[in-house]
């Protein structure tokens, strides 16, 4: 059969994959189809688990890394899901293929909930200059530091990504209900998250005073929640300043991804997997499962350390 590539691309795009990812998936599935035709295998809807395992073994025979083959299999899962959605099959033969020998992603230096809250409480709204070191404009500006503290609250309580913070609008806040709507981005799904009581008060003050002053300084109208002091600074410039301050509070802080990983690790410890997936905005539960596995691995390591027999 001839795969309807335009429709397959559209199907992938509607599921939130970027244009670059769609191009990669389509290219890899085309390579697989070409391989299967050369092998004289049945047409796509008739392919079985054993046929796909033959492909996996062929890749291994060429010296392709297990991690790369895992990506190939993931692309094939999407291909067969597409065929099922088009009524060309009822089973996904790639669904149960699991590859061994792939190094699991490990999230090092997870911060405890207490350490995360300490970062929020101690985030400096006023900063004493270091002797002999000029202070950057953002550090001199108390409005920027007040805004940054609100951002830190969303990092350590809701585990937001930088692109999600940048995209927030004033209308995304439902402060009477103590909630915030986080819209979908390239890597995360839309969700409505609860705010802590302290965050609600901080956000009320920010909207009533700090943001209005920043808006006047910026000299333009916008519904963006977080404003920059002036246009020379990108949003990533703001978060780099925040990160520098957080490292002064706790030397264990490495980057903002570490903060998000710490928040999600806490969620998988206290909530069921589906709720943790929703809170994190993961499109696939497997992404959340990797954090749960991290928790289990750490518990096993503690058991071996303290109870070796």
DSSP code string of 249-272? H-TT---HHHHHHHHHHHHHHHS-
Q: Are strands 173-174 and 179-182 parallel, antiparallel or unpaired?
A: antiparallel
Could you report the per-residue pLDDT of 143-179, keeping only the tens digit for each? 889 999 999 999 999 999 999 999 999 999 999 999 9
Cα dihedral 84, 90, 93, 96 in deg (nearest 10)? 100
Domain 113-303 belongs to what topology? hpI Integrase; Chain A (1.10.443)
Could you report the per-residue pLDDT of 220-252, keeping only the tens digit for each? 789 999 987 554 456 888 898 999 999 999 999
Could you report the per-residue pLDDT of 80-119, keeping only the tens digit for each? 999 999 888 778 999 888 887 666 565 668 999 999 999 9
- Name which of 94, 243, 60, 48 is nearest 162 in CA terms: 243
Please give the Cα distance from 246 to 291 (Å, whole number).
23
Share of the chain above pLDDT 90, in %: 62
Name the phi and psi angles at 138, rounded to 5: -65, -30
Where are the chain's structural domains?
5-85, 113-303
Reduced to 3 states (helix: H, G, I; strand: E, B; else coil), residue 116 is helix
* Tokens standing for residue 20: 């670059």
Please give the Cα distance from 125 to 140 (Å, whole number).
10
pTM: 0.67
Q: Which range is most confident: 22-26, 100-104, 137-141, 155-159?
A: 155-159
Could you report the per-residue pLDDT of 285-307, keeping only the tens digit for each? 878 888 876 665 554 444 444 44
Answer whether 145's CB lies under 8 Å from 127's CB.
yes
pLDDT, greater one: 139 or 234? 234
Reduced to 3 states (helix: H, G, I; strand: E, B; else coil), residue 173 is strand
Return the CATH number of the domain spanning residue range 5-85. Answer: 1.10.150
Name the helix (H) or strand (E) containing 147: helix 142-157
């Amino acid at each position: 059969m001839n795969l309807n590539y335009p429709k397959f691309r559209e199907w992938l795009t509607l599921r939130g994959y970027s244009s670059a990812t769609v191009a990669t998936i389509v290219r890899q599935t085309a390579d697989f189809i070409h391989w299967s035709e050369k092998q004289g295998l049945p047409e796509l809807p008739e392919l079985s688990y054993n046929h796909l395992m033959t492909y996996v073994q062929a890749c291994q025979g060429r010296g392709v890394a297990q991690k790369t083959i895992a990506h190939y299999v993931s692309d094939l899962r999407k291909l067969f899901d597409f065929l099922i959605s088009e009524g060309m099959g009822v089973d996904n033969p790639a669904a149960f293929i699991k590859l061994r020998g792939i190094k699991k992603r490990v999230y090092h230096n997870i911060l405890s909930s207490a350490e995360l809250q300490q970062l929020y409480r101690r985030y400096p709204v006023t900063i004493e200059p270091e002797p002999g070191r000029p202070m950057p404009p953002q550090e001199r500006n108390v409005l920027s530091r007040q805004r940054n503290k609100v951002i830190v609250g969303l990092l350590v309580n809701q585990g937001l990504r930088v692109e999600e913070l940048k995209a927030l609008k004033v209308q995304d806040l439902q402060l009477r209900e103590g909630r915030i709507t986080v819209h979908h981005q390239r890597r995360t799904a839309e969700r409505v998250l609860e705010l802590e009581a302290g965050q609600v008060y901080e956000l009320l003050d920010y909207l009533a005073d700090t943001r209005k002053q920043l808006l006047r300084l910026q000299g333009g109208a916008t519904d963006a929640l977080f404003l920059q002091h002036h246009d020379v600074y990108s949003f990533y410039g703001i978060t780099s300043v925040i990160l520098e301050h957080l490292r002064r509070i706790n030397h264990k802080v490495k980057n903002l991804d570490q903060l998000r990983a710490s928040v999600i690790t806490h969620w998988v410890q206290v909530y069921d997997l589906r709720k943790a997936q929703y809170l994190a905005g993961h499109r696939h539960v497997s992404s959340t499962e990797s954090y749960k596995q991290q928790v289990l691995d750490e518990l096993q390591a503690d058991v071996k350390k303290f109870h070796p027999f």
